[in-house]
Structure 1
Amino acid sequence: AYGYHILKVTDIQPARARSFAECRQELLDVLRAQKEEAAFNAWLNNLKMKAVVKKEINVLRENTPS
């Protein structure tokens, strides 16, 4: 993350297009992760819409140290 990183190149391969068969599992993993995130966000937003938040100032004042 932060700081210095030292890398050593051990092999150089020319750029090439990968076949669908080579990318298939990676694509499925990305799509699955996107669907999971979308489902989680929908669930969370649904919970937020149903949530009832009450502000009880008296309770906050009682529990606040002086």
Structure 2
Amino acid sequence: MLFVFVLLIVGVFHLVAPRAAWYLHIGWKLRDAEPSDGYLMFLRVTGGAACLFSLIFIIAAFASPHS
């Protein structure tokens, strides 16, 4: 369950700040480089997908009956 919450946090980070996510992932290795618009869109889409899947798993975990 911890993994799902971490995935949700990372997904929100990619949605809110894709440029910062790019910098933390790749940008710190490069000098005078900027991410392409396509890559920033990719980060937003994958961040949204991560949030969606995380929320589905969280809802399913709390909605299932505990034995």
Superposition TM-score, scaled by structure 2 size: 0.48
For the pair shown, which has the larger CA radius of gyration, 1 or 2?
1
| Between structures 1 and 2, the one with greater helix share | 2
